Protein backbone atom coordinates (compact mmCIF):
# COMPACT_ATOMS: atom_id res chain seq x y z
CA UNK A 1 0.00 0.00 0.00
CA UNK A 2 1.14 3.51 -0.71
CA UNK A 3 2.11 5.84 2.12
CA UNK A 4 2.87 9.55 2.33
CA UNK A 5 5.12 11.04 5.00
CA UNK A 6 5.49 14.67 5.96
CA UNK A 7 8.27 14.83 8.53
CA UNK A 8 7.84 18.48 9.51
CA UNK A 9 4.78 18.97 11.74
CA UNK A 10 5.40 22.72 11.87
CA UNK A 11 7.43 25.25 9.91
CA UNK A 12 7.88 28.98 10.18
CA UNK A 13 8.99 31.56 7.61
CA UNK A 14 9.51 35.28 7.57
CA UNK A 15 7.31 37.26 5.22
CA UNK A 16 8.95 37.65 1.77
CA UNK A 17 11.37 34.78 2.46
CA UNK A 18 11.42 31.30 0.92
CA UNK A 19 10.43 28.06 2.65
CA UNK A 20 10.51 24.42 1.58
CA UNK A 21 8.11 21.79 2.86
CA UNK A 22 9.15 18.14 2.63
CA UNK A 23 7.20 15.11 1.51
CA UNK A 24 8.26 11.54 0.85
CA UNK A 25 6.13 8.68 -0.35
CA UNK A 26 6.35 4.97 -0.83
CA UNK A 27 4.96 3.17 -3.85
CA UNK A 28 5.75 0.33 -6.18
CA UNK A 29 3.91 1.98 -9.05
CA UNK A 30 5.81 3.70 -11.82
CA UNK A 31 3.12 6.15 -12.82
CA UNK A 32 1.09 8.26 -10.39
CA UNK A 33 0.10 11.80 -9.48
CA UNK A 34 1.29 13.95 -6.61
CA UNK A 35 -0.42 16.99 -5.16
CA UNK A 36 0.05 19.71 -2.61
CA UNK A 37 -3.09 21.04 -0.97
CA UNK A 38 -3.40 24.02 1.36
CA UNK A 39 -5.94 24.11 4.18
CA UNK A 40 -6.31 27.51 5.90
CA UNK A 41 -8.13 27.86 9.22
CA UNK A 42 -11.32 28.30 7.20
CA UNK A 43 -10.71 24.55 6.52
CA UNK A 44 -11.42 24.47 2.78
CA UNK A 45 -8.81 22.31 1.07
CA UNK A 46 -7.33 24.23 -1.85
CA UNK A 47 -5.20 22.72 -4.62
CA UNK A 48 -1.79 24.36 -4.76
CA UNK A 49 0.08 22.35 -7.36
CA UNK A 50 0.15 18.93 -9.01
CA UNK A 51 2.79 16.76 -10.65
CA UNK A 52 2.49 13.81 -12.99
CA UNK A 53 5.18 11.24 -12.27
CA UNK A 54 5.90 10.64 -15.96
CA UNK A 55 6.90 14.28 -16.40
CA UNK A 56 10.50 15.03 -15.51
CA UNK A 57 9.95 18.77 -15.44
CA UNK A 58 9.06 20.16 -12.03
CA UNK A 59 5.66 21.84 -11.83
CA UNK A 60 5.41 25.54 -11.01
CA UNK A 61 2.45 27.76 -10.19
CA UNK A 62 3.43 31.39 -9.64
CA UNK A 63 5.28 31.50 -6.27
CA UNK A 64 4.88 27.77 -5.74
CA UNK A 65 7.18 25.16 -7.23
CA UNK A 66 8.06 21.57 -6.52
CA UNK A 67 11.24 19.55 -6.46
CA UNK A 68 10.20 16.11 -7.69
CA UNK A 69 12.84 13.43 -7.22
CA UNK A 70 11.25 10.22 -8.52
CA UNK A 71 14.11 7.88 -7.66
CA UNK A 72 14.24 9.23 -4.12
CA UNK A 73 10.42 9.29 -3.89
CA UNK A 74 10.57 12.86 -2.73
CA UNK A 75 8.18 15.71 -3.55
CA UNK A 76 8.98 18.97 -1.77
CA UNK A 77 7.11 22.25 -2.10
CA UNK A 78 8.94 25.56 -2.30
CA UNK A 79 7.09 28.76 -1.53
CA UNK A 80 8.90 31.90 -2.66
CA UNK A 81 8.22 35.44 -1.46
CA UNK A 82 6.04 34.11 1.38
CA UNK A 83 2.93 36.09 2.18
CA UNK A 84 0.79 36.25 5.30
CA UNK A 85 -1.99 34.52 3.39
CA UNK A 86 0.24 31.48 2.88
CA UNK A 87 -0.18 30.55 6.54
CA UNK A 88 -2.07 27.25 6.59
CA UNK A 89 -1.78 23.48 6.89
CA UNK A 90 -0.15 22.00 3.82
CA UNK A 91 -0.90 18.43 2.82
CA UNK A 92 1.00 16.30 0.38
CA UNK A 93 -1.13 13.71 -1.42
CA UNK A 94 -0.57 10.71 -3.71
CA UNK A 95 -2.96 9.35 -6.29
CA UNK A 96 -2.58 6.07 -8.07
CA UNK A 97 -3.48 5.99 -11.76
CA UNK A 98 -5.36 2.76 -11.11
CA UNK A 99 -8.74 2.13 -9.54
CA UNK A 100 -10.44 3.56 -12.59
CA UNK A 101 -9.64 7.03 -13.79
CA UNK A 102 -10.55 8.56 -10.47
CA UNK A 103 -8.38 6.95 -7.83
CA UNK A 104 -8.57 8.14 -4.27
CA UNK A 105 -6.03 10.44 -2.63
CA UNK A 106 -3.64 9.30 0.10
CA UNK A 107 -2.63 12.18 2.34
CA UNK A 108 0.26 12.86 4.66
CA UNK A 109 -0.36 14.21 8.15
CA UNK A 110 0.34 17.76 7.09
CA UNK A 111 2.75 20.60 7.89
CA UNK A 112 1.53 23.70 9.67
CA UNK A 113 3.15 26.76 8.11
CA UNK A 114 3.32 30.02 10.02
CA UNK A 115 4.32 33.27 8.32
CA UNK A 116 5.83 35.98 10.48
CA UNK A 117 5.38 39.64 9.50
Partner 1 sequence: DAGVTQSPTHLIKTRGQQVTLRCSPKSGHDTVSWYQQALGQGPQFIFQYYEEEERQRGNFPDRFSGHQFPNYSSELNVNALLLGDSALYLCASSLMETQYFGPGTRLLVL
Provide the minimum distance between the beta carbon of 101 and partner 1 in the complex, in angstroms, as a whole number. Answer: 7
Q: Does 108 bind partner 1 (CB under 8 A)?
A: yes
Which residues touch 17 (CB under 8 Å, ≥6 apart)? Answer: 81, 82
CB of 4 to partner 1, least distance (A): 8
Query: 19 or 108: whose CB is closer to partner 1?
Result: 108
CB atoms within 10 A of CB 64: 16
79 and 64 Cβ atoms separated by less than 8 Å: yes
d(CA 51, CA 75) in angstroms, rounded, equals 9
Binding-residue total with partner 1 (CB under 8 A): 27
User: Segment contacting partner 1 (CB under 8 A): 13-21, 70-78, 79-87, 88-96?
Assistant: 88-96
Scanning 16-112, the segments in alpha helix (DSSP H) are none
Which residues are at the interface with partner 1 (CB under 8 A)?
A: 4, 33, 35, 37, 42-47, 50, 91, 93, 95, 97, 99-110
Amino acid sequence: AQTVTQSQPEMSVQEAETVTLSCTYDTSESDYYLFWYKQPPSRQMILVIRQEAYKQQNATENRFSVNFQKAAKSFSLKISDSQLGDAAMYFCAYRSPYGGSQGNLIFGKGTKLSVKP
